[in-house]
Amino acid sequence: MKKQIVVLGAGMVGRVMAIDLAKNYNVKSVDANEKNLALLRPHGIETEVTNLHDEKKIKSVIKKADVVVGAVPGFMGFNMVKAVINAGKSIADISFFPEDAFRLNQLAEEKNVTAAIDCGVAPGMDNIILGYHAARMKVHEFVCYVGGLPFTRTLPYQYKAPFSPIDVIEEYTRPARFIKDGKEIVMPALTEPEFVEMEPIGTLEAFNSDGLRTLLRMKILNMKEKTLRYPGHREFMEQLRDGGFFSEEEIVVNGNPVRPIDVTSAVMLPRWKYEKAENEFTIMRIIVKGIEKKKSVSYQYDLFDTFDFSTNSSSMARTTGFVCTAVATLIAEGMYPQKGIIAPEFLGKEKKCFDFILNYLKERNVNYKFSEK
């Protein structure tokens, strides 16, 4: 009898994950949006309309689940994961909530469940790759360059997003944390711009963003993550931010209190929205340097992935979602039995998990090119 996996959230990534998992499991997709769920029924996926803000309703819909997959917005993520753990169910999650997940570690251990968080592309695969090498060498430096972009560049933004602009804007306002010479450094987002040559696209611009998350707990001398955009986008976003357009402090307009960030997001939304089947790509470079077997080594992983027209699924959904479905499969098949809050770098330490995830992605045409410099 097939095991059951319940996917909480049927947005762009949640739908891709549900369809992928349905190849090997009985899958139920749960969302508050009936239109999202209707897209899944032709794939033979059971659906249920439910308010995922309600812990009791979450507990009810996952009652028969062997494993849960979390794909709700970040502001809902922490409470959703907590509700799943309280129900005694293991979970692989991509909600990327801002709260410290390790606050739930004791609860997860008490409930004897595996709760794998940040199971996406970045955070996610970059953590897994670093975790693998850090278990086998003394890492001195880790750098991750990552971005998702449309092929067509249109001024003034030169950017589109498959999700709400307000989530992207947070990357431009939240201070960036990184490690330099063993110390945590905090700088404004969008700082330290540099041009990076990324095949096959050409020159992109990288800048500081707060993407290290759980990796900040690792004892590595130098670590940073930088976001990739077309040249010119960063400067425009910096001007908007410094001009107050991303402010969360209310102002009064015609007697009505409004937050500038909400207005800006509403203006950007139709301009940042991808057209149906519009081609886009995910691009990432991971560099790991250090000492292995008394030798200086430098390893590099490159990812370039595009919209999949055969399945009508975006690159961002695939590169993010398939990491999470791989982790969900590891949990469902008992290949990763550790309990508690599991950061992706924990998975990477285990060679069988590392190899499984890379092979799982390769089978779905998401390929990380490895090279030794």
Residue ranges of the chain that CATH labels 3.40.50.720: 4-122+315-372
Q: pLDDT confidence of 164, banded at 50, 70, 90?
A: confident
Residue ranges of the chain that CATH labels 3.30.360.10: 125-306
Tens digits of per-residue pLDDT, 328-367?
A: 999 999 999 999 999 999 999 999 999 999 999 999 999 9
Beta-strand runs (E) in the chain: 4-8, 26-31, 46-49, 67-70, 91-93, 114-116, 138-150, 176-180, 183-187, 194-198, 202-208, 222-229, 251-253, 256-258, 280-292, 295-306, 340-342, 368-372
Domain covering 4-122+315-372: architecture: 3-Layer(aba) Sandwich (3.40)
Is-contact 329 27, C-beta < 8 A?
no
Domain covering 125-306: architecture: 2-Layer Sandwich (3.30)
pTM of the model: 0.95
Tens digits of per-residue pLDDT, 194-207?
A: 999 999 999 999 99
Tens digits of per-residue pLDDT, 244-283?
A: 999 999 999 999 999 999 999 999 999 999 998 899 999 9
